[in-house]
Chain A
Amino acid sequence: MTNASQNVSAASAPGKEPGKGSGKDAALSTYTIALAGNPNAGKSTLFNALTGARTHVGNYPGITVEKKVGQVRTSDAVLNVVDLPGTYSLTAYSAEELVARDFLVEERPQAVVDVLNAGSLERNLYLAVQFLELGIPVVLGLNMMDEARKMGMVVDAKRLGELLGCPAVELVARTGTGVRELTAAATRLAKERQGRWKPVEISYGPDLDPVLAEMSAAIMTKSFLSSRYPARWVALKYLENDSQIRELGVQADPVLSAWLEERAAHVAAHLRTTLSTYPEAVIADYRYGFIASVLKGGVVTRDNLGDRLAFSDRLDQVLTHKLLGPVLMLGVLYLVYQITFTVGKVPMEWTQNLFALMAKLVEGALPEGLLRSLLVDGIIAGVGGVMGFVPLVMLIFLLIAFLEDSGYMARIAYMLDRVFRIFGLHGCSVMPFIISGGIAGGCAVPGVMASRTLRSPKERLATILTAPFMTCGAKLPVLILLASVFFPDSQAQVLFGMTLLGWAMALAVAWMLRSSMVRGEATPFVMELPPYRLPTWRGLAIHTWERTWQYMKKAGSMILAVSIVVWAAMTFPGVDEDKAASFEAAKAEIAAKIEAIEAPAAPGTAADSKDEAPALGSEAPAQGEEAATAQAAEPEGLDALKEKLADIEKREAAEGLSASLAGRLGASLEPLTRYAGFDWRTNIALVGGFAAKEVIISTLGTAYSLGKVDKDDAAPLAEMLSAEGLTVAGGLALMVFILLYSPCFPTVVAIGKETGSWKWSVFSMTFNTVFAYGLAVAVFQFGTRLF
C-alpha cells in the first residue's frame, strides 16, 4: 500500500497508456530504475527510504560499490530499483564511474533517478547533464530541500524540470518526504518513454561544435558503437580521452577509431596552442555554463547570504588545523578504542559465556567420542571464538559509522594523506588499517573489505596486503598472555609497542610493495569534504547492522568450515591403538576406583589407607594391582584420584595432538623454527592459528597438556611456558611472529575476493610468514645474546 494517492494522471505524454490512472490494471508492469547521484547527495538514504532495504549509507565518498537492488510496488507498477555507485561524472576515472556507466548502457533501465543535493545544485547537475546527453530518461530528485530552505534558498523544482525537459521532485530522503511523488514520477516517465532514449545536445562552442558534428556524422554513417551509445556521446568521449570507449572503438572499427583519435588529438593540440586549455576542460566549462544558464532561469533564488559551509568551515579551522588537527584526531581515535573496549567487554563476556554454556550442554548431552569432540572442540570453539567478538565488532562499526556519517572520516583521510603518501598509500587507507586493528582489537576481514573505498587499484592492493599486520582482536589475547608471562611489569607498554610495530611494519611493507611488485604512480588525492552533519540513528543502525551482518555471515560459513578442517588436522590420525588402549585402561581403572568410592556400597570399610598417588610416570597405565583396594580411599583420596584421571586425560590429549597431522607438521618444522626459539608445541599452535588466531592459546594449552586453557585465566599456561624454558627473547620473538605471520584463513579468503586473484592470497600467506619468521629469528638471536 505504498502510494494509492499517487495516480496523478498528469500524463503530458503521447497518450500511450489508455488505462492510466485507474490503478487497477490487471497486469502490473515492471520497470528497472537506476538510482544515481553524487556521493554525499543522500542517495543511499533515499534507497533505504524507497525500498526499505538495508543498505550502507556514507558520508565517505563512494562507499557503495556493490550493486544493490530493491523493489518498490506502486499501485500500477513494480519498480526494481538498482543502486548505482555514487559518482560525480560518467568518465572512466574510477571503477565506480565505469560500473555506473556500463550498467546504464548495458541494462538500459527504463529510467534513472538522479539524486541531487539541492543546496549544491550547480555541482550536482553536472552528472544530470551527462545523463541527459546520454539520452536516458531522467527523474531529478532534489534532496535535502529542508537544508536548502534553511540556508535561505528557494528552489523551483518545477521550473528546473521544464528547463531540462525532465521531471523534478522535491525530497527530504531522511524523513521520507517526497519519496512517493518520486516513485510516481519515475513510473510515469518509464511508461511514457517505453525505453526510448532521447539524447539532449549541448553546445560546446565554436572550437568543439564543428569537430563534434564532423565526428558524429562519421560515427553515424558507420553505426559505430551505436547499439550502446549515441553518436555525439561517443565523439565527446573521444575528445575527453576516454580510455574505455577508445578500447571499444578499436575493437569495433580500428580505421574509424584511429581517425577519431587523430581528430581528437588535433583539437587538443589546437586548444593547447591557441587557448592553452584542454578539450575536457572546455567540455566541462560548457556543461557548467549550460547549468548556470538553467539555474539563472528562475530555478534558484537566494534571499540570504548564508554560506552552507560556514559552520563546517569554522569547525574545520580547529579539527583540521595543521598542528591541532592531528592531535585531536589521535584523541578521537583513542576515544574510539577506549569506548570499544570498556563498553564492549561486558557483552563480549556474555556471548563468550553463552558459547561456553553451549559447549557444556553438548558435552553433557553427548557421549564422549568423535562427534562430541567435533561439536565442542571444533565447531563451538571455532565459531564461538569468532562470534564472541561480534559485540566488539558491532561497537567498532557503530563508532566508525558515526565518524563517517558525521563527515569527520573524510577529514581523517585528508589529514593522514600526507603521511600515507610517503609509503605509497592513500589517505583513504586509514580506514582499512583502523578496522583491521590499527587501534588494537579490530578484525582484518572487515578491514580488507573496507578497502573498497580506495579508488586506485595499486594503493588499494598495497592496503589490502598490509592491513592484516595490525593487532586484530584475535591476536590481542595471545599477545596479552605472552606479555604477562615475559614482561609482567610492563605489559601495557609492550602491548602498545606491538601495536606500533604493527603500524610500522604495515607502512614499511607497503612502501616495499609499492616500490617493487605493486609499483605505479600515486593517484592524486582529490576528495569532497562534505559539511559536518549530525548522523541519524536510523542511518547509524543500518550501517552498523550491515557490516556486522557481513562479519557474522563470514563467521557462520567460512569459519565453520575452517574450524572443522583444523579440528580434523588436530585430531587425526591420533595416537596409535596400543597407546590409546593403555590410556583407556588407565582411565577405566581410575574411573572404577572413583565409582567405588562414590557409590555408598561399603560404608563400613574405609580403613585401609592406600597411597593413591604414585607419580604418573611414563608407565602410568600399569597393572591394576590396586584395583581391589579402591574403596579404601579417603575423600582426599577421591580428589587425588580425580586429579589423576584429569591428568591422564590431558596427557592423552597432548599425545593425541602430537600424533595428529598438525602435530607432525609442527614437529617437522622444528628444525627451522628452532632459530626463532619455537619448539614443536608452539609450532602446532601457530599452525592452528592460521585458522583463527584465537586458536593459538587453546592449542598451546592442549600441546602443553594443560587441558583447556581459559583465555581469561591463563596463569597455568604462563607458568608452564616459562618453566619449559621459553626465554624472554623467545617470548618476544613469538609475539613478533604472531603479530606478523600469515593472516588467518578468513582474511586470506577476503584478500582473494577483494583483489580478484588468489595469487595475492597465496602471496600474503607466504610473504607474511617468511617476513615474520625472518624478524622473529632476528629478535631471538639478538635477544639471546643480549639478555
Chain B
Amino acid sequence: MVSLSRCPKGSKVRVLELCDDPKCRCRLCSMGLTPGVEAVIRQDGESCRVCVRGDEICLGNGLADQIKVVRV
C-alpha cells in the first residue's frame, strides 16, 4: 500500500483508501475515485493527474498523499 503521490507516471493502481475528511471523500467519490476503482497515473507527484472511469482529474494539496493505493 502506497500513497498515490508516490506512484510513478504511467502506472496503474487500485484505490484502497481515501482521505480523512468525509466531505472530501464524498467529493472524490462523486468524481469517480472510489475505493476499489482502478486509475492510471498521467502525471506523478504531489499534484498529480489521474485518469479514472474515463475522465481525468487532478489532485493537489497533499490529497494525493492521503489517498492510498496498490499497484496492479
Query: Chain A interface (Cβ within 8 Å of chain B)?
Result: 88-89, 91-93, 119-120, 122-123, 126-127, 240-241, 243, 276-278, 280-281, 283-285, 288, 308-309, 312-313, 316, 320, 322, 414-415, 417-418, 421, 427, 522-529, 531
Contact = CB atoms under 8 A, between A and B. Distances in A.
A289 to B, nearest CB: 10
B58 to A, nearest CB: 5
A237 B1 CA distance: 30
Contacts of A421: 60-61
8 contacts: A89-B30, A93-B23, A93-B27, A122-B32, A278-B18, A284-B26, A284-B30, A288-B32
B61 A524 contact: yes
B2 interface: no
Nearest to A521: B21
A526 B57 CA distance: 7
Contacts, number: 131
- Which of B18, B24, B26 is most buried by chain A, counting CB atoms within 10 A of its CB? B26
Contact of B35 (A120, A241, A277, A528): A277
B57 A525 contact: no
Which 5 residue pairs are nearest across A and B when measured between Cβ atoms? A89-B30, A525-B60, A284-B29, A88-B30, A417-B60
Given A122-B53, A276-B17, A285-B35, A527 B23 contact: no
A529 B49 contact: yes
B8 to A, nearest CB: 13
- Which of A89, A127, A278 is most buried by chain B, counting CB atoms within 10 A of its CB? A278
Contacts of A284: 26, 29-30, 34
B54 A528 contact: no
A528 B57 contact: yes
Contacts of B47: 414-415, 417-418, 525
A124 B4 CA distance: 24
Contact of B53 (A123, A243, A523): A123
B55 A528 contact: yes
Contacts of B23: 91-93, 241, 243
B19 A524 contact: yes
B25 interface: yes
A91 B21 contact: no
Chain B binding surface, main DSSP class: mixed
Contact of A309 (B18, B45, B56, B60): B56
Contacts of B37: 288
B3 interface: no
A417 B35 contact: no
State which size class the interface on B falls in: 35 or more
- Which of B49, B53, B57, B58 is most buried by chain A, counting CB atoms within 10 A of its CB? B58
B45 to A, nearest CB: 7
A29 B58 CA distance: 45
A427 B26 contact: no
Given A88-B31, A122-B32, A528 B56 contact: yes
A277 B36 CA distance: 10
B28 interface: yes
Given A278-B25, A281-B18, A414-B60, A320 B32 contact: no
- Which of A241, A284, A288, A427 is most buried by chain B, counting CB atoms within 10 A of its CB? A284
B49 to A, nearest CB: 6
Contacts of B61: 417, 421, 522-525
Given A93-B26, A278-B22, A313-B51, 11 more contacts: A120-B53, A122-B32, A123-B55, A277-B35, A280-B22, A322-B43, A414-B58, A523-B61, A525-B60, A526-B58, A527-B58
Given A308-B54, A312-B56, A529-B49, A524 B34 contact: no
A120 B63 contact: no
Contacts of B62: 524
A525 B21 contact: no
Contact of A418 (B17, B26, B29, B60): B60
A460 to B, nearest CB: 16
B24 A313 contact: no
B59 A525 contact: yes
A320 B18 CA distance: 25
Nearest to A524: B63
A713 to B, nearest CB: 49
Contact of B59 (A126, A522, A526): A526
A281 B27 contact: no
A93 B22 CA distance: 10
Contact of A91 (B26, B45, B51): B26
B71 interface: no
Contact of B58 (A522, A525, A531): A525
B35 A281 contact: yes
A524 B57 contact: no
A313 B42 contact: yes
A524 B24 contact: yes
Nearest to B23: A93
A240 B26 CA distance: 8
Contact of A122 (B25, B46, B54): B54
